[in-house]
Amino acid sequence: MRFTLQVWRQSGPESPGEFVEYEAADICADSSFLEMLDVVNERLSSSGQEPIHFDHDCREGICGACGLMINGHPHGPIAGITTCQLHMRHFSDGQRIIIEPWRAAAFPVIKDLVVDRTALDRIIAAGGYASVNTGGAPDANSLPVAKEDSERAMDAATCIGCGACVAACPNAAAQLFTAAKATHLALLPQGQAERQQRARAMVAQMETEGFGYCTNHGECQAACPKGVSMDNIAFLNYDFRKAWLEALSSR
């Protein structure tokens, strides 16, 4: 297969960027999108040109490292997968493909298609954990958890922190990510002691990082490669309001 790529090239955070056109020829239809970029980069390096910089790691849809805006869609046109799981057979031979980095003020471009997503790490560091000492690993049946709660917690915990929700949101909001990281703990007994404190701290950090505000467009859920539900945002909002009211009443 042959493709025409329009790739965003930017030498650094303060440098102006531009789209540069490349030809991707003799590409196997069963190649992943990142493998296609590998082929293009090998040819660029062989000709003495600088390769295209992009994030990747496991290439199995687990780590959340890869993240490209492909023809205006986070992770590409196929729902429920990451960029590394997207294959070239999903495109037409001869198609023009536009490749951009995540576009969000909280995700500044480092170089080309690589953005700084450490803002998400700082949200987790603000409270996305259980600091209460719960001892060693208990027997699986010693701490009863309702099946519905355990399944909802597991569904929220599938978030891989790729940032596609932020890239898809017209407001560049991080509510879905923050909600997923807070909710999966709030639904379990170990997370109850710090539940309200966690909600307030994580939301405060999210706002400090410069993310936009959620207006329920729903693009985040549609773009999430793991299908994390917007219901988690409602759950976080409930905890945040409760924490805010409790803090207000204690003054």
CA–CA separation, 69 vs 219, rounded Å?
Answer: 14
The pTM assigned to this predicted structure is: 0.92
- 124-147 pLDDT per residue, tens: 999 999 887 767 777 777 778 899
**In this structure, which long-range contacts are made by residues 86-90, counting pairs with CB atoms below 8 Å and at least 24 apart in sequence?**
86/32, 86/33, 87/29, 87/30, 87/31, 87/32, 87/33, 88/1, 88/3, 88/27, 88/28, 88/29, 88/30, 88/31, 88/32, 88/33, 88/36, 89/29, 89/30
Average pLDDT over residues 53-62: 96
> Among candidates 99, 114, 107, which has minimal Cα distance to 12?
114
**Neighbouring-strand partners of residue 69:** 74, 100
pLDDT digits (tens, 9 = 90+) for 219-251: 999 999 999 999 999 999 999 999 888 878 777
Give the per-residue pLDDT at 190: 85
Q: Report d(CA 96, CA 70) in Å as an integer.
A: 11
For 91-108, the pLDDT digits (tens) are 999 999 999 999 999 999
What's the pLDDT score for residue 84? 97
Report the C-alpha gap between 180 and 229 in whole angstroms.
8
Q: Given this model, what pLDDT does residue 239 score?
A: 93
Q: How far is CA 203 from CA 128, 174, 215, 224, in A?
A: 11, 9, 15, 20
Q: State the pLDDT at residue 134.
A: 66
